[in-house]
Amino acid sequence: MTENISVLGLGLMGSALADALLSAGHHVTVWNRTPAKADPLIAKGAVRAATPAEAVEASPLVIACLLDYPSVHEVLQDTPLAGKTVANLTTGRPGEAREAASWAAERGADYVDGGIMAVPHMIAKPGALILYSGSSAAFERHEQAFAVMAEARYVGEDAGMAPLLDLAMLTGMYGQMAGFLEAAAMVTSAKYPLKEFTTDLLIPWLNAMAALQPDWAEKIETGDHSTEVSNLEINRAGMENLVRAFREQGVKPDLLLPMKTVIDQRTARGLAHEGLSGLVEELYN
């Protein structure tokens, strides 16, 4: 079904989203603070709005993809939002998303927040995912249009949930990168070919370890941190050994040290018999 959709914010990501919607045959109205960035989309059939208000006026679905939440508020504040659906695909914090949902509700608009798990060139291609949270009615109303940009996954009525899960996924990524960078420093310090190590040894090992995570997730959800694999005492000694080996090799273990601190903290509480999943208990305030 063809929809009228307005896209506000035509940076790298907003342009890719608008392009995907246009290519799927939707009637797309665009607005950007720097008007020239709209030119390639206008050439493909998009309609240029002179102001954010004109863009909002044009369509029931208003997609915002701007730098941050303050810029979203700045752009949308004097627009006729009543009766519209705002899909805010700008990256932000869960609290900002909840505030934006209330702000939109006060103006009579439905609100969904989105967390984009893709870079611009992945948009409209397999592998791109956008998480949505907030109004389920609004999500269902526009699900087909959302699915044009990326796989659209709805994760709950709490508008903060999409950004929270987005940040949790980024956290997993940074943790994996931290491990990779330390391993790379160690391997290159010994002049072993890093690409060979990465493809032949590290990736299969990481995949095998990742396969254990659903089990860990269950342990964390039930609070049962017993283990038949390796307890915290073994991991404490292993981490001690790792850090010493790094230093002997002339490499700084800086990205590993925070994990060592938490392992030491947990074992000092007399919980050395637990598995590594128990470390999560040290992270709650």
Sites of contact with ligand NDP (CB under 6 A): 9-14, 32-34, 37, 65-67, 71, 74-75, 90-91, 116, 119-120
Q: Between 30 and 186, name the residue whose CB sits nearer to ligand NDP.
A: 30
Q: How far is the CB of 93 from ligand NDP (least distance, A)?
A: 12
Minimum distance from CB of 27 to ligand NDP (Å)?
Answer: 21
- Cβ proximity to ligand NDP: between 161 and 187 the closer is 161
The distance of closest approach from Cβ of residue 13 to ligand NDP in the complex, given in angstroms and rounded to an integer, is 3
DSSP H helical segments within the chain, as ranges? 12-23, 39-43, 52-58, 69-76, 94-106, 136-149, 161-189, 194-196, 203-210, 213-222, 232-248, 257-268
CB of 130 to ligand NDP, least distance (A): 9
Question: Residue 140's CB: how many other CB atoms inside 10 A?
Answer: 10
Close Cβ partners of 239 (under 8 Å, ≥ 6 residues apart): 256, 259, 260, 263
Min dist. Cβ of residue 284 to ligand NDP (A):
28
For ligand NDP, give the closer residue by CB, 128 or 145.
128
Residue closest to ligand NDP (Cβ): 11
Rounded to the nearest 10 degrees, the angle between the axes of helix 161-189 and helix 232-248 is 50
**Considering beta carbons, is residue 93 or 141 the nearer one to ligand NDP?**
93
CA distance 69 to 85: 17
- Smallest gap from residue 171 Cβ to ligand NDP (A): 15
Identity of the residue numbered 271: L
Tokens of 110: 């439905």
40 CB-side CA count, 13 A? 11
Please state, as a whole number, how many other Cβ atoms lie within 10 Å of the Cβ of residue 262. 17
Q: Of the two residues 174 and 205, which places its CB atom closer to ligand NDP in the complex?
A: 174
Choose between 51 and 102: whose C-beta lies nearer to ligand NDP.
Answer: 51
Q: What is the DSSP letter of 201?
A: I
Q: Is the Cβ of residue 15 or residue 227 nearer to ligand NDP in the bound state? A: 15
Burial of 272 (0-12, 13-18, 19+ CB in 10 A): middle
Q: How far is the CB of 248 from ligand NDP (least distance, A)?
A: 40
Describe the chain by its helix, strand, coil percentages, rounded to 5: 55, 15, 30
> In angstroms, rounded to a whole number, what is the distance separating the alpha carbons of residues 187 and 181?
10
Nearer to ligand NDP, 11 or 60 (CB): 11
Measured from the CB of residue 6, what is the shortest distance to ligand NDP in angstroms? 14
Residue 72 to residue 233: CA distance in whole angstroms: 49
